[in-house]
Amino acid sequence: MRTIDTPSTSEPAKTGVELLRDPSLNKGTAFTYEERRRLGLVGLLPPHVLTQEEQAGRVMANLRARGSELGKYIEMADLLNRNETLFYRVVMDHIDEIMPIIYTPVVGAACQQYGRIFRRSRGLWISRREKGMIRDVLRNWPHRDVRVVVVTDGERILGLGDLGADGMGIPVGKLSLYTACAGVDPTTTLPVTLDVGTENRALLEDPLYLGMREPRLRGREYDELVDEFVGAVREVFPGALLQFEDFANHNAFRLLEKYRRTDRVFNDDIQGTAAVTLAGLYAAARVTGSPFSSGRILFHGAGEAAIGIGNLVVSAMVAEGMSPEEAMGRCWFMDSKGLVESSRRDLQEHKRPYAHAHAPIGGLAEAIRELRPSALIGVSGQGGGFTEEAVAEMSRVNARPIVFALSNPTANAECTAEQAYSWSQGRAVFASGSPFAPVVFDGRTFLPGQANNAYIFPGVGLGVVASGARRVTDEMFFAAAKTLAGLVGEDDLAAGRLFPPLTKIRSVSAEIAAAVAEVAYRRGLSTQGEPRDLAAAIRALQYQPVYKSYL
């Protein structure tokens, strides 16, 4: 790790072997002979000098030769650990191929095997033993100008559950996407895992588990640790955005509510998922010919993602002139016990606002028959939750049924793209949380869109950084959703895709960042003056993965 910041001159902060071991400075075989002589590298590298393009070609050849997806993840992790610039060059140039490897769905398998594939520490782990000294732990991080922090406590990793300290793959992966998708400088990002124990018996008994071997902290002790951490981030990195990631429902909502009005925080599972789904609904309305606010939305699942989507959808409907009561009445939820309705006495606090008056319903297909929703949104984390009967019923009550199977990783998707199109006779307007290959049905090729949070959170983060916003508001996510939906072309919709191609994600993120920054300026939330050309200012901020000359 780098011990001091790189000077403003071309001279790097390190030389020799230390330079080669610093991934933020290392160029590997791309150091020229003149640089090698100046920096004490002669003899430490093979003599032939490669261009970055040649290095990237070698990386891709090796990656494609790997037999397993987890092997590809390890290959990319090793590259990130030795040469960040080359890592991001490869990711940006092959984003549609690489993103599923460095993040969902493969990151889930990587977290499950984290103790076995661990190579080098990236980020900070904070446990109950550091209580009272978290500020000092943060100061151990070698970079002072931290702008984005992603933190997890590992309790609800994707749809895989409690993975404890092995959940570190999630904040590392998310921050890789902040850089690859939006251009946030990687030296300004910090992944953190709050290791508060685990209830996963298999991990506790695994000799290779890297975390604290104790039950999870709960109650006051947990809250005090989180509170000290948030306060430490505020003090040590006062300009940083803090993103909560993969916290369980019972903590996710209350922590967001606790800190959102005092600190620069958001929860991607609640707000990012909501924004990308809302964007998908806006785009789908262009296919169906009817605004989504004109029908009902049925959510299969009622956790943090589902309720977060519902809340943002309600805000969107209210912005279009609907009363809050009517807007909430158009959103219905199914949980593991059936329809969320007003006679139930077992509902968690976050579900109660959506407990409408209705007779109990146990099954999804029955709920579709009764409620006749125009959109079915799967956020249950339960693979196969959308049955053929349910999709057929959606097709019976809608000419173009909206079917979003958003749970990930892929094994947890409520249905596959092929199932959605075949069970609906090619009429479904489909999106998924994990990527699916093109589907050919009845002579037509569909390109299923991925409702990937990477379309939202990197751009939101860049907008917050660019504007110096003091808070992250729902209005910013609403603006992000509208912007993303507006970037979907007619050719995308004709192919069955509700989102722009991933190859455009850098420009998409820049547009979203500008929309978020505009909200910050308009609402008086910015801590710095508004530039004359906001779009140009944001583009100038975006990190470019090109080697510096050290001559």
Write the pLDDT tens digit of every residue in 417-451.
Answer: 999 999 999 999 999 998 899 999 999 999 998 99
Whether 196 has a pLDDT exceeding 80, the answer reads yes
In 379-459, which ranges are E strands? 402-405, 429-432, 439-441, 444-446, 449-450
pLDDT class for 7, splitting at 50, 70, 90?
very low
Query: Which two tokens mark 231?
Result: 């306060």
Mean pLDDT within 492-515: 96
Q: Dihedral (C-alpha) 91, 93, 98, 104: value to the nearest 10 degrees?
A: 70
Residue type, 382: Q
222 exposure class (CB count in 10 Å sphere: 0-12, 13-18, 19+): middle
Whether 3 has a pLDDT exceeding 50, the answer reads no
63 phi/psi in degrees, rounded to 5: -65, -45
pLDDT at 11: 66
pLDDT at 408: 85
Omega into 105 within 30° of 0, i.e. cis? yes
Write the pLDDT tens digit of every residue in 200-222.
Answer: 999 999 999 999 999 999 999 99
Residue 283 backbone zone (phi > 0: left; psi -120 to 50: alpha; other: beta): alpha
C-alpha 182/C-alpha 309 separation (Å) is 23
In 178-292, which ranges are E strands? 189-195, 241-244, 265-267
pLDDT class for 315, splitting at 50, 70, 90?
very high
Write the pLDDT tens digit of every residue in 36-89.
Answer: 999 999 999 999 999 999 999 999 999 999 989 999 999 999 999 999 999 999
Residue 320 makes CB contacts below 8 A (sequence gap 6+) with 291, 293
Whether 1 has a pLDDT exceeding 70, the answer reads no
15 phi/psi in degrees, rounded to 5: -135, 170
Write the pLDDT tens digit of every residue in 361-385.
Answer: 999 999 999 999 999 999 998 899 9
pLDDT at 86: 98
Query: Which two tokens mark 488?
Result: 């979907």
Whether 509 has a pLDDT exceeding 90, the answer reads yes
Whether 335 has a pLDDT exceeding 90, the answer reads yes
Q: In the chain, pLDDT over 90 holds for what percent of residues?
A: 93
C-alpha 160/C-alpha 103 separation (Å) is 14
Write the pLDDT tens digit of every residue in 337-368.
Answer: 999 999 999 999 899 999 999 999 999 999 99
- Which residue ranges form the domains of the chain, and what is each CATH number? 79-263 (3.40.50.10380), 271-451 (3.40.50.720), 455-521 (no CATH)
Whether 2 has a pLDDT exceeding 50, the answer reads no
Whether 151 has a pLDDT exceeding 60, the answer reads yes
Q: Residue 33 to residues 9, 186, 236: CA-CA distances in angstroms? A: 19, 27, 40
- The active-site residue out of 27, 72, 174, 351 is 174
Mean pLDDT within 310-325: 93
Write the pLDDT tens digit of every residue in 455-480.
Answer: 999 999 999 999 999 999 999 999 99
DSSP 8-state code for residue 482:
H
Q: Is 301 helix (H, G, I), strand (E, B) or coil?
A: coil
pLDDT at 12: 80
pLDDT at 10: 63
Whether 541 has a pLDDT exceeding 50, the answer reads yes
Write the pLDDT tens digit of every residue in 214-243.
Answer: 999 999 999 999 999 999 999 999 999 999
Mean pLDDT within 405-414: 92
Active-site residue 174, yes or no?
yes
Query: Which two tokens mark 261?
Result: 């009005």
